[in-house]
Amino acid sequence: MLKKLVSLLAAILPFALHSQDIVQVNFTETAYDERYHKGKLIVPIFRYTSPEIEEYEKFGAPGKKALDKFTLKKLPDMTGCVDTAYGFIYYTGLPSNTNRGYITLLIGNYRRSWDKIAQLYVDRNNNLDFTDDGPAISIPYFTEYLDVEFANPAADGAVYKVRLSRFPMDKDAKYRQLMDEFYQRNQGNKVFAGIDYSFKENRMNMKGTTYINGTDTFRIGLYDGNYDGLYTNAEFDRIYVAKQGDSVFIDDYRFVFQDGMKDAEFEWNFKVYKVTELDPAGRFMKFYWDENAQSRKALRIGKKIPKFEFYLTDAKTVKKIKKYRKKGLYVYFYSLENPNIEEDTAILRQLHNKYSNCLNVVTLNYGDYYKTLNAIKVLDAVPYTMGISNRRLNRMFNIEQLPTGFLCRKRLRLSHIGVTPKDVWELMEKGSKKD
């Protein structure tokens, strides 16, 4: 009986420790990574000449390379369509025995006529039968974009969405000409219909939400890395974080699943959050703040900060941070959008004026024009070092939001993380009184 009681306590203890702290967030927003708006994915459209179709070669296949073929079993009712073309969308949520994971599309009236509305037919279940996939999607001439959704039967509510849009016929003539030439040469024996009849593709494979908890308020994103509508694949899927208000998640703040979902975690504000449950369809996530976990990304107190070089605000002179190792060092990362910029710069000047004998002050700006910074340096006669940060430096210091600062002792040994100029002033004043 005693052994059973001990086993029961061992089983429920972890939940007892964290149950009061576990929170749930629901992912109801479409989110974007940094590649979404820069992407140049194309869904090329080919003229339909026969039910026997060559598979799609994503990266372009030389004309002499033999591509496998498959046959469409049943065509949809295309009454009213005067021409037909086909294309492919990449989706891995269905068996990929046919066409290696690409879903086949048919387009009626593909020539973008004013009086003939284009019709899009999607083989949603990838069985090459277009009679069991629901109604066609109408594409009127002035359609800005259309969304195509695929339901993954592996999980309730799992959906993968692709946004398709057409190329403007009156813009980017040179680019469209290059794409025409490329696909005409590099798609086996298919007959390319032309880039004007093809689609731009944006993969809507990310969901986002905002976690609100006082000063720890931040954004969380889920990324479906293998395009199957599921968000729990340790090899491909990711968790992203960003500061409140950010509309785009960047790769600098993404977290992989170390050993499947059982060890999924992410960090923000030097805190480690452990995931207890993630809905496969990406609808919600449960997690808690593990107060005993040590950040994998944050710099270590008592250790030396990384060695790095940076440009001064003239964008010409390069400085090495090790030059400042003989005194204490305060490194202040900021942008001019900082609402407390005037107060912070005033305190930085005071720090330099009073404590320059024992403390170096280095400010590193991220995101502002260097000529503006240099003008401030010259016109305001700034006495401390003003430099320029970049994405690599921000990533090195695990900077999640600006402004922030790092205080070091001699030999560049880190003593405080996330300190403001006011914090440093108070620390220096307190230390001087002890002396």
Position 273 confidence tier, pLDDT thresholds 50, 70, 90 = very high
Measured from the Cβ of residue 98, the count of other Cβ atoms closer than 10 Å reads 18
Residue 95 has pLDDT above 80, yes or no: no
- Answer yes or no: is pLDDT of 149 > 80: yes
* Residue 6: per-residue pLDDT: 43
At residue 432, the pLDDT reads 63
Identify which of 18-27, 76-85, 170-179 has the greatest average pLDDT: 76-85
The predicted model gives 38-48 an average pLDDT of: 90
The 3-class SS string of the chain reads CHHHHHHHHHHHHHHHHHCCCCEEEECCEECEECCCCCCCCEECCEECCCCEEECCCCCCECCCCCCCEEECCECCCCCCCCCEEEEEEECCCCCCCCHHHEEEEEEECCCCCCCCCEEEEECCCCCCECCCCCCCEEECCCCCCEEEEEECCCCCCCEEEEEEEECCCCCCHHHHHHHHHHHHHCECCCCECCHHHCEEEEEECEEEEEECCHHHCEEEEEECCCCCCCCCCCCCCEEEEEECCCCEECHHHEEECECEHHHCEEEECCEEEEEEEECCCCCEEEEEECCCCCCCCCCCCCCECCCCEEEECCCCCEEEHHHHCCCEEEEEEECCCCCCHHHHHHHHHHHHHHHCCCEEEEEEECCCCHHHHHHHHHHCCCCCEEEECCHHHHHHCCCCCCCEEEEECHHHEEEEECCCHHHHHHHHHHHHHHC
Q: For the packed helices 421-434 and 341-355, what is the interaxial angle rounded to 10 degrees?
A: 30
Comparing 97-106, 203-212, 233-242, 351-360, the range with the smallest average pLDDT is 97-106
Mean pLDDT of 77-96: 91
Kindly list the distances between the CA atom of residue 21 and the CA atoms of 213, 273, 288, 304, 313, in Å, as whole numbers in the listed order. 12, 11, 6, 34, 46
Over range 138-166, report the average pLDDT. 94
**Positions of CATH 3.40.30.10 in the chain:** 309-434
**CATH for 309-434, options being 3.40.30.10, 2.40.400.10, 2.60.120.330, 3.40.220.10:** 3.40.30.10
pLDDT of residue 18: 47
Band of the pLDDT at 259, cuts 50, 70, 90? low
Q: What mean pLDDT value characterizes the chain?
A: 89
- pTM value is 0.81
Please state, in angstroms and rounded to a whole number, the distance separating the CA atoms of residues 350 and 432. Answer: 14
Does the pLDDT at position 29 exceed 90?
Answer: yes
Q: Are 241 and 400 in contact (CB under 8 A)?
A: yes
- At residue 435 the predicted structure's pLDDT band, cuts being 50, 70 and 90, is low
